[in-house]
Amino acid sequence: MTKHAENGAPVSAPRASDGALCEAYDTALLDLDGVVYAGGEAVPHAVASLRAAREAGMRLAYVTNNAARTPQTVAEHLVRLGVPADADEVVTSAQAVARLMAERLPAGARVLCAGGEGLRVALRERGLTPVDSADDDPAAVVQGYGGPGMAWGVLAEAALAVGRGVPWFASNTDLTIPSGRGIMPGNGTAVEVVRIATGRTREPVVAGKPAPPMHRETIIRTGARRPLVVGDRLDTDIEGAHAGGVDSLLVLTGVTDPATLLAARPDHRPTYVAADLRGLLAPQPAVARVGEGFACGGWHAVARAAELKLTGPGDGETVGESGGETGGADPVDGLRALCAAAWAWAGAGPGGGGVPQADKALARLGW
């Protein structure tokens, strides 16, 4: 029988699973940017891993905060990459915010749409009417990522309407979005432009991850009974999983690096950690308390004097003595042990607390 975390339980160390995650959970709720693809190209091992997970019986749902594209366009992109996907398996923050607005506005209400085609299509599907000007008497304003070519005038119209007191919504508030050329401004940056221009201190009503409406939209559309959130961001994917009371897998192919993971606050700590989507296909090793520290896969980590110390498998060396050699052991196992030691230190009383220094320990693992 597969051992797993209780949904929503506090995470003090990465959890174990005796069986592959694709067998323990019925549906993978997969983020896209940084998980499945980056800069439009498939992340290494993503295509083969997702195909294998589906063949093992796991359903796949692609859940993205990016509201610019329609589900059909996203699915076509995934298929071109070799990823199995249908439009009804794609869930966007545009769909989540459109449902939220339709529940609060009259049928057919005009909505000033400061976003891309994905947001416009989602509004129409919910019986709302997208308009482009603050002078079109909109019942609400909604902002969604419109791509790098979104005109400045779109934000000007949104600011005018919000400044007049029109109800304000946002698909999401991610400040950045990954691209093939590097990190670029996301929808959260555009939201801040409107806030500054209007002098507003209030927040828009947000639907996307990590807010609950996005999780609700995903569950409605997928019918998942035991979902696993799979993402690369602590502040959207993993926090959203905590908010929804479900388990999560962090993959290290996108925004979050190992140092950031070690410093994660409790609601940003994933249930499981893997290098990439191959983590769906394998059991998850246990992290055990051993002496003052924690062990996983032959690695032993302990926090002493506000610094993480790491011993490698079979060599008896402490960090910094072997020039980054891992002896053939899995570095992610070492990271799992370090997570347990760092998170225990962060929650400790006198003599502990805060984030322990981890540079030498991570260098030992090649990070």
Q: Please state the domain count of the chain.
A: 3
How far is Cα of residue 124 from the mean position of the Cα atoms in its chain?
27
* Regions of the chain short of the pLDDT cut 50: 1-9, 317-324, 350
Element (H, E) at 192: helix 187-198
Co-location of 195 and 127 in the same domain? yes
In a domain, 2, yes or no: no
193 contacts 180 by C-beta, under 8 angstroms: no
Element (H, E) at 153: helix 152-163
Co-location of 35 and 126 in the same domain? no
Domain final residue, candidates 281, 296, 314: 281
pTM of the model: 0.88
Co-location of 270 and 248 in the same domain? yes
Contacts of 149 (CB under 8 A, 6+ apart): none
Element (H, E) at 334: helix 331-346
What CATH number is attached to the domain comprising 236? 3.40.50.1000
Co-location of 198 and 117 in the same domain? yes
Sign of CA dihedral 148, 253, 88, 170: negative
- Domain that includes residue 187, residue range: 94-206
pLDDT digits (tens, 9 = 90+) for 11-61: 689 999 999 999 999 999 999 989 999 878 999 999 999 999 999 999 999
Helix (H, G, I), strand (E, B) or coil at 308: strand
Co-location of 151 and 125 in the same domain? yes
Query: What angle (nearest 5°) sits at the alpha carbon of residue 6, between those of residues 18 and 99?
Result: 115
DSSP 8-state symbol, 318: B
Co-location of 195 and 247 in the same domain? no
Residues tagged active-site: 31, 33
How far is Cα of residue 134 from the mean position of the Cα atoms in its chain?
33
In a domain, 81, yes or no: no
Beta bridge mates, 140: 111
Beta bridge mates, 143: 114, 170
pLDDT of residue 200: 74
pLDDT of residue 20: 98
Contacts of 315 (CB under 8 A, 6+ apart): 322, 327
Taking the CA of residue 59 as centre, how many other CA atoms within 13 Å lie in the half-sphere pointing to its CB? Answer: 18
First to last CA, the chain: 34
CA pair distance 39, 181, nearest whole angstrom: 7
Q: Count CB neighbours of 184 within 10 A.
A: 14
Give how far Cα 186 sits from Cα of 161, 271, 296, Å. 21, 27, 37
Sequential DSSP letters for 118-136:
HHHHHHHHTT-EEE--GGG
How far is Cα of residue 62 from the mean position of the Cα atoms in its chain?
11
**Residue from 251, 331, 257, 218 nearest 49 by CA:** 251
CA pair distance 63, 227, nearest whole angstrom: 12
Domain final residue, candidates 173, 189, 206: 206
Beta bridge mates, 129: 110
pLDDT of residue 217: 94
Contacts of 159 (CB under 8 A, 6+ apart): 193, 194, 197, 198
Co-location of 180 and 266 in the same domain? no
- Tokens 């980590």 map to which residue? 301
Helix (H, G, I), strand (E, B) or coil at 221: helix
In a domain, 12, yes or no: no
In a domain, 221, yes or no: yes
